[in-house]
Structure 1
Amino acid sequence: MKLIAIILLASFCQVSASVYSQNITLKQKNVSIDVVFRSIEKQSEYVFLYDNLELQSAKKVSIDVKEMSIEQVLNICFKDQPLNYKIFNKTIVLKRKSETPVTLTFEAIKGRVLDENGQPIVGASVLIKGTKTGATTDGNGAFTINAPIGATLVVSYIGYIAKEVAIDSQREYSISLQPAANDLTDVVVTALGIKRSEKSLGYAVQRVGGKDLQTVKGVDVGTSLTGRVSGLVVKNSTEFNARPTIELRGEGALLVIDGVPYRNMSLRDIPTDDIESMDILKGPTASALYGSRAPGGVILITTKKGSAGKGFSVDFNSNTMTSLGYLAIPDVQSSYARGQNGVIDNDYVWGPKLDVGGTARDWNPLTKQFEDNMPLVSKGKDNLKNFMSNGIVLNNNLSIAQSGENGSFRIGLNDIYNKGQFPNQNLNMVNLTMAGEMKLSEKFKLEGHMGVSKRWADQVWGTGYNNQGYLYQLVMWTGTEYDIRDYQDYWKVPNKTQNWMYTNWYDNPYLIAYEKLNGIQNNTVNANVTATYNISKDLSVLARIGYDNYNNKTSFRNPTANIFSTRGGAVNGSGWNAKGMYSIRDSVGFSTNNDLIVNYKKKLNKVTIDALAGGTIFYFQNQILEATTKNGLISPTFYSVAGSVEPPTVAQGGNSQQLNSLFGRASIGYADAVFLDFTGRNDWNSSQPKTSRSYFYPSLGSSVVVSELVDLPKVIDMFKLRGSWAIFKTAFNPYAINRTYGTTTSAWNTLNSANYPSSLLGSDLLPSSQRTYEIGAAGYLFKRRLHFDVAYFNKLYYNRQASASIAATSGFSTTLVNLGETYERRGLEITVDGTVIKNRDFQWNSTINWSNQHRYFVDLDSKYSPDNLWTAKGERLDSYTGTYWLTDPSGNVIHQNGVPVKSTYSKVLGYTDPDFSFGFINNFSYKNWSLGINIDGRIGGWMYNYIYDKMFDTGTAPETDNQYRYDQVVNKLNNYVGTGVKVVSGTVTFDKYGQIISDTRQYAVNDVQVGYQNYAQNFRGGDLGFQNASFVKLREISLGYNVPAKLTEKLGLKNASFSLTGQNLFMWTNFKYSDPDVDTENLNSPSMRMVGFNVKVGF
């Protein structure tokens, strides 16, 4: 790592402008005169300004000179030519000899380049057309250039459509560029970091600009991707320190940074302000050259390597947000205390009525003892909210950059602080990055990037259905007869006894927050160096080295006052211990990815050839060391493995894998309209059996730009059809095919043991395979005001690996086999974006992303596929199955002894995948003001609502506070009659699947009275906890003001802006008490609304 750092620093610090020789050496025979002009421009600082029509009358030139002055060379070239020349500074202007001698007046032209939102574009290129004379915009988007009247300025910037502006009598211009992120003539980054024209691709690609993510900045940039890409679903967690889950076409996506597919990096490790752009390659066809590492596609990130314009720059971007209320938070009944059947005790919340003058023997948190006649009053109606506090996110970034003619260099420092909503939740993240590029010669270019990331927190737990979860304590299993704030002094006897009402199962939440800790210290380092050498104008070679490593430390501890019982969570299989416990886990690892790629590009008349061949060596290694105290701590406050009462339990493990690959791609284009791609990759995987260690991935893609071949209606500016096909394979995890002994220390008293594995390796195992095809269309309409992209994909999964049960007489319990069962994933993606309104001062740009995907059984395995009704050809794989309430033919719930009857069979209750996901991105601009509004959601799909369902069982659900409960507790009446029917005669028989064979049952209206607690704990909410998880969110909003250039200049700034920001602002859903965004409910933390402001300053 030190060597890499030295190479980078030594190279990038030598950035300087080039000095060109003014003497010319040429040897050319019978060539067009413009070929000579280009040779002169390469050898000097001179540029030629001319009309291409004028050159049509020029004769071909033969010249052989060495170290001759520019004037001498020009005199030879223009001898007997119908043209003449005149030199103005470094510009050579051509005119016909018959015309009046040229006299040009150069004027200082000023201007400002703005984006679609009226924001300045920093680093835009402004060139005089036909010359190399140009300028670059500064931090305010401003430029100054000396140009002759009548010349044309060509203004361009990456991701925007270039614009030409004719110079007339004006001296100042305001130039607006339109986004071209989806321009099919634009260049995007594809597999292996190779840049290609999007119109030549046979698969779907979508780009997200870095600046779109750099105003509303949270803890993780992944959250800001929500709704921005069709087919990319981001499931955002409400938990502290939890990363969002990102799925591309229903599967994981490979993260590639500057061409390197790092194994140990995530989006959280990349500062938002370091991102220049993201290119999302969808599906295995797009990612075929990455092999088994990219099942769903690739997220390609290009980082910033220097200042946007030439020269030195300093940029500071600060975003501050705090929580302001909740989108989802559970509510509880506050009329009844803990207990059962109206009597107070330490389990459930079906206890006595509160606020009616009753008393009971209960704990007094002030005297820290049990006392008689404690009043039963609802003191803790807001216990959960009173226990929580405002969450805070501070995201600050400072960068320093330098750019010159032959290179650039950038250093960035990012600091993130996240205060969670529960006590003692404080996360710190620091990222230091260095990046740059250097042109060492006309043929040799060097690029590099290095990042160091550190993340730490003392307490990251506090969620889930376990005795470490705050909702488990405050919502699920305790009542409101106490005020949690009275228990902030959580010690009765320090490090010995809690100040708490419970003697088993539940701990004081404040003790959990400050004493029962799960801390983390994560460190990551990554670096890459890329060298490119142009052997000729058609042939180049690229060598790239990528490396990352991590060192993560996780610790668990609990004091001797911890309440230890059978209910609740566990850690590392050891459990919390009332005698005290300490556990530490140290995980270290690294990966290397080395590429060598040869690129060839050639144009032969209308035919273009774009090919590459290369190889990759990928290797990773992980090591884990874990130690846990046994039978308590010697000293209550000595948290160390060395403080274990008995010899600690120690575990060690690790794995490694190497993947050697050869690959190639051949792309053929005709007339810049028809393109055909072939790719192939062969892997040799160390984790695969020798008989199938080598496997091949082919792919085929085609793109046809119809608008280049036939005349279409004038409203269609461009229209393209595309299609692709690929085979994808997934190898075994490391050591899955190895049979090794397991060991156990002190299995019986002091005796150790070893056991033979219970799984048998199947013969001739093949890697899991997938076949994908995709078809799509894209185009522009209405003078490029509207863009659309549509894609349909179909992915077949076969040769899937599974662990199957076998006869115990074999000596094993399972065997690893390839299943004959297959299924398909089918999906549709649509993107529509464009400029809705545009006039002089106001503009509205909008993007709609829509996608869906589902999985269906195609073939079953006669031996291993389950025998049930939902595992069948054509059925969906995402079925949610379970037992259900029995009903009569009219749908009325059947009761027995006054309570509903549940079937002993299972059936499909619904499907978990949404019907579709969408994002609606809007950007408005008015003069110096801008407004961004992002809305997204997932419609359809069902999810088990654990907290809502369980609250009926424990007695805390608000719906249980009713007259029937009052009658049972206060009036001692069991008078609840459930709605439905009862069986009065007859019988029913079922087949093995639960389908009715015969039914002679007769029904009557249910009239049996029961106690309300009994009924509610059985029937609960009536929906078996299975609820529609549809939701729509106002995800992000920003209202910004760009400080005018005149004011920033007075302040000594290049640019400045201020924005009001918000994230996770509003949600529309019928899902109760919890945010369905995360896609799994297990007593999830409340969903916070975040609001704040952003400040950007450039120097």
Structure 2
Amino acid sequence: MHKKLLIKRVVGIIMWYMIACLVSPVYAQSIMAQAGTGYARHSYTLEEVLLQLENAHKIKFNYNSSVLQGKTVSEQTLHKITQADLQTALPQLLHPLGLTSELVYGNYYAVKSITGDKSVLQQVTVSGSVTDASNNTPLPGVVVAVKGKTKGATTDGNGRYSLAGVSPTDVLIFSLVGFKRIEMPVGGQSTINVALQADVSGLNEVVVTALGIQKEKKSLGYAVQEVKGENLTQAREPNLVSSLTGRVAGLTISSSTDLFRDAVISLRGQKPLIVIDGIPDQLADMWKVNPDDVESINVLKGPTASALYGSIGQYGAVMITTKRGKGKDLSVEFNSSTMFQTSFIRIPKVQSTYGDGYKGKYEYVDGSGGGPEGSGWIWGPKLNQKDPSTPSGYWETPQYNSPVDPTTGERKPLPWISRGKDNVRNFFRTGIISTNNISITKGNDKGTFRASASHIFQQGTVPNTGLNNSSFTLGGNYNLSDRLNVDARFTYNRQYTDNYPEVSYGPANYLYNLVLWTGTDVDIRDLRSYWQPGREGLQQKHYNQSWYNNPYFQAYELLNGYYKNNTFGSMALNYKFSKDLSAKFRTGINTFGLTSNLAEPKSYIRYDDKSRGNFYVGSRDYFDIVTDLILSYEHSFSKDFTVHAEAGSSNYYRNDRYQSSNTDGLSIPDLYNLSNSTNPVQSTNGLEERRTSGLYGFVDLEYMGAFYLTLTGRNDKISTLPVSNNTFFYPSVSGSVLVSELVKLPHWFTYLKARGSWSKVSGGLLDSDNGYTYNYLPTYDIGDKWNGVPSLVYGGDLQNPDLKPRTSSSWEAGLELKFFGNRLGLDASYYRIRDYNNIVNINVSGASGFNSRRENGNEYLRKGMEFVLTGSPIRSKNFSWDVMVNLSSYHRYLKAIFNNAAQLDKLKVGDRMDKIFTGVYETDQQGHIVYESNGFPKSDPFSRYIGNDDPDWVYGVENTLRYRNFSLRFLVDGRIGGLIYSTTNQKMWWGGTHPGTVNQFRDDANEGKATYVGQGVIVTGGQIQYDGNGNITSDTRTFAPNTKAVNYIDYMVNTSNAANDNYNFYSETFLKLREVNLSWNLPSKWLSQTFFRAASVSFIGRNLLLFAKLPNVDPDTGVDNLQSPSMRSMGVNVNLKF
């Protein structure tokens, strides 16, 4: 087969050569023959000669007929040009006539006057239609751009476009995702209709890979997925990472519901490297990245994809490519969106049947030191009980806010009713996310530049909280010569807030006081005046108990400030030695200065401790720089064989200084200054440094456009490792085969690619948990003070200078399939990653003077599957529907234990690492809970496996529907399986605010009755025996139903906060309507008489609906430690281009 193909190619080359040799004399005779007579003439019209040149050389001339009018060509000139090649012939033909030619695209030439004939240069309006070549239906959304300029338009719902200010020498570019791009010279045409052909193979798709190198996707031997920047700038999230949720298979985003909290990003179970324009950003501060500056995000999955980054690329990479300037004309784009958070998709729902107190009795502290101290529980008397003997008609009792009788000095009774059933909603305010961005691009023959400025304002739903995030970016590229190009960009970003709320469980969390320990007998709005009269600045006004903070006092007085100035950017010099050989010098800098502070007012409650007032200040000065020198070589040794090789060196340096200080009490209230400390200020500071030097390279081999092989290697020397083990090598190999280029497939089977890869990557940071440096030599720490004199303490960890770096060895296999002319596609991946030489802490005898030592030990296996399904179920004249489904599964297993131990905690070799073991109650053989004789459940003496933390599947489904000038995009995502521990629900059950605590048993308990009987059994005889691992070795127990009644409140208080908390684990399964975007592109004919090139309006929404088994909280966060309610965001986006 290959021999036949080779023979065909050789014969074809010979035939084309023979035709080229014969064509010159032939076409001269042809001109004479077609001139209207069978005999030679002494002159011919220029138009006749150009026509025959077109036929002879397979080219096309565009011209204005008036330019050729009256111009003739002599027989002598005609004979001369027939003996010359085309590039020589055209000047000989045209220059004597005052004309010239210009190659504008492919085989298209423009003929124009040397003097710049205005008729040639006159600008026109070009219009036309774009259709699908397969069925002749109109194509909406096709981008029509002028090549080399910023002018452009988009086809409307009928596939029509109109573009003003176009010159006859311009070339129009027609492009649409899923179709082959077409370039058409304008010439003298005012109407250009185009039929686009489907790009059935996607063979020319280019993605950004490691080191910022662009490669054709077909050549990659590993999985990669791209998200376009346009998907990130309409229905926005405050943090760029959250906008990726559901859009990439294998990439899991756990978004926080709290203001200014990072989303947790996980790629195949680990934290990936963030790379911006080829420069690694190891801090991964995504708040500093302006979504409007992002051109695309390419997710490189697995170690092989990012092996060229060495140890920092051990877990894959998220490649962010920012926008560049395009074209010569000045272009301005304004993008603005405003979203409002006015409603909830998940909010803690508290019961409003019972109020503060314990076992039906209400007690309070009136906020002024009067009245008895309450219990702190919400197990108090029933609310809204009718009492015809009182003025209000309800049962009345003196309360914390009762008016004082001026005669007796005692507090008057008030109705005991539910005033605060909407306390959470009443405390919140409308959240706002407002974003404005403006960008400017301009260019010339030498280069382009782009500048953008943006501001994001987020008004927190908690009063007196908010966030400002401002960015300014300037970038450009310039050709200093034909060989030398410079590309540079710079970004300044400032994140600042005077207050953002604390969110973990504890007194600083407003929900701690608002949801858990405040009954609905309190209307939270009554506490807005949060100072005790006459004691402003000294004592907050409490409600029922004095050890819970007033939520308004927290919001306006406990101030958490954050002020960060980021500066980052890069510069690259590219020099082209020859067609095949080039060099690049690139350096990137990332620096920031951070100041944070916490103002803690007097009378603030830290559990039972009342603060004397404090002021905490922290600062951090960070700098890192990475420099690369890269030599690149690419050459096609034949039509079928191409080599692309690069070799380079990299140097990375990080310097991180930090300092923190705090007062020990405030001498003067409300004066937050370190000099106002009652006792000596407490301070600490530190410096951490790292340096990495590396050599790396890769070779790409391509054969016959069907076989691709990539070999990479990197050798690093890292300062954080012991000298004996601080240099190591990372190899990788990957390849792909385009089966559809080798085998004739059925007509409906469009494309088939098989790929595979292997890599070995070591981690340079031995202590992967703290993420900075590793001290392999013992050092001293600052200890306690003795009589005001600081002491030094020798560390308790015995360091090991012979430790080896943790290492990952991985392989991956995948298939890419496309069917029905690209209407249906599937990308499937399977991977296995072996992690070994992990660092473990081993306990040692205290007699040695140490607590533990570090050793290499434990081995893990990570494996998973990923599927990306794409399709276009409907594509008609006015309507289209595109869909993408992402599905992934990931698990981590224990493969070996240090020193061949039998267990690692509760885990055995072969177990999943996310197994959950917790305290449970003892059960009989049928699973019924065993109760003690006192009516309370009996604890199992061993922790038991109850399920797994990680979900079985993570999915996302994105749909895009287009009708004429309208488009509707909606994204649904979620997880299937896995368990999540809910602190919110556990504390609500324990404290008495959970709606499930409303029942007759509680009414009885308030009256002192014991009527609650736990469902289960009691042991009437026999016994149960276990081995050391908790396995039952003998069970002779006999049982009878439990009949012992207990006080319901006693039962809930004792069991809800017990170690046996398996009931507080819930299914993590959920489905969320993540995003809805309804857009309208204004018709081009409406804009033709304005200075706008394009305009669109979008109605947008985020986090609109949630379906989950977990009550009261949003499982999307992945963890619940008393999280904020999950908000629904809706708003409008406006985009203008001019």
Structure 1 position 90 matched with structure 2 position 101 = yes
**Corresponding residue for residue 512 of structure 2:** 472
**Corresponding residue for residue 61 of structure 1:** none
Matches within 5 A, 1:213-224: 213-224=232-243
Cα distance 1:863–1:722, how it changes in 2: closer, same or farther (>3 A)? Answer: closer
Secondary structure at the counterpart of residue 342 of structure 1:
coil
Secondary structure at the counterpart of residue 642 of structure 1:
helix
* Aligned-pair CA distance for 1:622: 0.8
Distance 1:264 1:74 in 2: 70
Matches within 5 A, 1:362-401: 362-364=399-401, 371=411, 373-401=413-441
Equivalent pair of 1:628/1:648 in contact (CA under 8 Å): yes
Structure 1 position 883 matched with structure 2 position 919 = yes
Distance 2:79 2:719 in 1: 68
Cα distance 1:92–1:122, how it changes in 2: closer, same or farther (>3 A)? Answer: closer
**Corresponding residue for residue 530 of structure 2:** 490
Aligned partner (choices 583, 588, 592) of residue 550 of structure 1: 592
* Aligned-pair CA distance for 1:362: 3.1
Distance 1:199 1:112 in 2: 34
Structure 1 position 967 matched with structure 2 position 1036 = no
Cα distance 1:681–1:179, how it changes in 2: closer, same or farther (>3 A)? Answer: farther
* Aligned-pair CA distance for 1:499: 1.5
Residues 284-334 of structure 1: CA distance to partner in whole angstroms, max 9, x if unpaired? 100000011122211111111214x43001111011110131111111111
**Corresponding residue for residue 1086 of structure 1:** 1125
* Aligned-pair CA distance for 1:522: 1.2
**Corresponding residue for residue 996 of structure 1:** 1032
Aligned partner (choices 1029, 1033, 1037) of residue 1068 of structure 2: 1029
**Corresponding residue for residue 725 of structure 1:** 758
Aligned Cα RMSD in Å? 3.3
Cα distance 1:137–1:173, how it changes in 2: closer, same or farther (>3 A)? Answer: farther
Distance 1:115 1:948 in 2: 57
TM-score by length of 2: 0.84
Secondary structure at the counterpart of residue 612 of structure 2:
coil
Q: 2:843 is matched by which residue type in structure 1?
A: S
**Corresponding residue for residue 66 of structure 1:** none
Residues 128-186 of structure 1: CA distance to partner in whole angstroms, max 9, x if unpaired? xxxxxx876425575466679xx997634799631477999984346687997993421
* Aligned-pair CA distance for 1:1054: 1.3
Distance 2:552 2:52 in 1: 79
* Aligned-pair CA distance for 1:74: 12
**Corresponding residue for residue 648 of structure 1:** 681
Comparing 831-840 with 591-600, which one deviates more in the overlay? 831-840
State the aligned residue count.
Answer: 1013
Secondary structure at the counterpart of residue 1089 of structure 1:
strand
Structure 1 position 79 matched with structure 2 position 83 = yes
Cα distance 1:31–1:767, how it changes in 2: closer, same or farther (>3 A)? Answer: farther
**Corresponding residue for residue 303 of structure 2:** 284
Equivalent pair of 1:113/1:120 in contact (CA under 8 Å): no
Distance 1:1008 1:209 in 2: 64
* Aligned-pair CA distance for 1:710: 1.6
* Aligned-pair CA distance for 1:79: 1.7
TM-score by length of 1: 0.87
* Aligned-pair CA distance for 1:871: 1.6
* Aligned-pair CA distance for 1:782: 1.0
Secondary structure at the counterpart of residue 399 of structure 2:
strand
Aligned partner (choices 646, 660, 668) of residue 693 of structure 2: 660
Secondary structure at the counterpart of residue 257 of structure 2:
coil
**Corresponding residue for residue 325 of structure 1:** 343
Q: 1:489 is matched by which residue type in structure 2?
A: S
Distance 1:351 1:306 in 2: 67
Equivalent pair of 2:168/2:188 in contact (CA under 8 Å): no
Aligned partner (choices 419, 437, 451) of residue 477 of structure 2: 437
**Corresponding residue for residue 837 of structure 2:** 799
Distance 2:788 2:103 in 1: 93
Aligned partner (choices 751, 757, 781) of residue 819 of structure 2: 781
Matches within 5 A, 1:41-440: 54=56, 78-79=82-83, 87=94, 89-91=100-102, 110-111=126-127, 124=145, 137-138=151-152, 143=163, 155-156=174-175, 161-163=180-182, 171-173=190-192, 183-307=202-326, 309-344=327-362, 345-356=374-385, 357-364=394-401, 371=411, 373-440=413-480
Structure 1 position 537 matched with structure 2 position 579 = yes
* Aligned-pair CA distance for 1:864: 5.9
Distance 1:499 1:984 in 2: 55
Aligned partner (choices 763, 773, 776) of residue 737 of structure 1: 776
Equivalent pair of 1:192/1:259 in contact (CA under 8 Å): yes
Distance 2:661 2:985 in 1: 38
Q: 1:110 is matched by which residue type in structure 2?
A: V
Equivalent pair of 1:262/1:591 in contact (CA under 8 Å): no
Equivalent pair of 1:118/1:926 in contact (CA under 8 Å): no
Cα distance 1:482–1:713, how it changes in 2: closer, same or farther (>3 A)? Answer: same
Aligned partner (choices 939, 948, 953) of residue 976 of structure 2: 939
Aligned partner (choices 1049, 1058, 1067) of residue 1088 of structure 2: 1049
Q: 2:919 is matched by which residue type in structure 1?
A: T
**Corresponding residue for residue 1017 of structure 1:** 1053
Cα distance 1:138–1:365, how it changes in 2: closer, same or farther (>3 A)? Answer: farther
* Aligned-pair CA distance for 1:686: 0.4
**Corresponding residue for residue 1067 of structure 1:** 1106
Secondary structure at the counterpart of residue 380 of structure 2:
coil
Cα distance 1:678–1:242, how it changes in 2: closer, same or farther (>3 A)? Answer: same
Structure 2: gaps (5+ residues): 1-17, 25-49, 60-73, 108-118, 133-137, 156-161, 363-373, 386-393, 767-771
Residues 852-897 of structure 1: CA distance to partner in whole angstroms, max 9, x if unpaired? 11011222223667455x5222210011110112211112111112
Q: 1:460 is matched by which residue type in structure 2?
A: Y
Equivalent pair of 2:488/2:569 in contact (CA under 8 Å): yes
Equivalent pair of 2:200/2:822 in contact (CA under 8 Å): no
Cα distance 1:729–1:49, how it changes in 2: closer, same or farther (>3 A)? Answer: farther
Q: 1:334 is matched by which residue type in structure 2?
A: S
Residues 53-91 of structure 1: CA distance to partner in whole angstroms, max 9, x if unpaired? 94599xxxxxxxxxxxxx999998752679975657524
Cα distance 1:227–1:552, how it changes in 2: closer, same or farther (>3 A)? Answer: same
Matches within 5 A, 1:27-46: none
Equivalent pair of 1:122/1:137 in contact (CA under 8 Å): no
Structure 1: gaps (5+ residues): 1-29, 37-47, 58-70, 97-104, 127-133, 568-576
Q: 1:381 is matched by which residue type in structure 2?
A: K
**Corresponding residue for residue 958 of structure 1:** 995
Cα distance 1:160–1:509, how it changes in 2: closer, same or farther (>3 A)? Answer: farther
Equivalent pair of 1:655/1:734 in contact (CA under 8 Å): yes
Cα distance 1:982–1:174, how it changes in 2: closer, same or farther (>3 A)? Answer: farther
* Aligned-pair CA distance for 1:50: 10
Residues 518-541 of structure 1: CA distance to partner in whole angstroms, max 9, x if unpaired? 111111000110111111110100
Structure 1 position 847 matched with structure 2 position 890 = no
Q: 2:566 is matched by which residue type in structure 1?
A: T
Cα distance 1:448–1:980, how it changes in 2: closer, same or farther (>3 A)? Answer: same
**Corresponding residue for residue 388 of structure 2:** none
**Corresponding residue for residue 712 of structure 2:** 679
Equivalent pair of 1:123/1:136 in contact (CA under 8 Å): no
Secondary structure at the counterpart of residue 443 of structure 2:
strand
Secondary structure at the counterpart of residue 795 of structure 2:
coil
Structure 1 position 507 matched with structure 2 position 541 = no
Residues 174-201 of structure 1: CA distance to partner in whole angstroms, max 9, x if unpaired? 6687997993421211111111111111
Q: 2:1002 is matched by which residue type in structure 1?
A: R
Q: Looking at CA atoms only, which structure, 1 or 2, has the larger radius of gyration?
A: 2
Cα distance 1:155–1:380, how it changes in 2: closer, same or farther (>3 A)? Answer: closer
Distance 1:181 1:895 in 2: 67
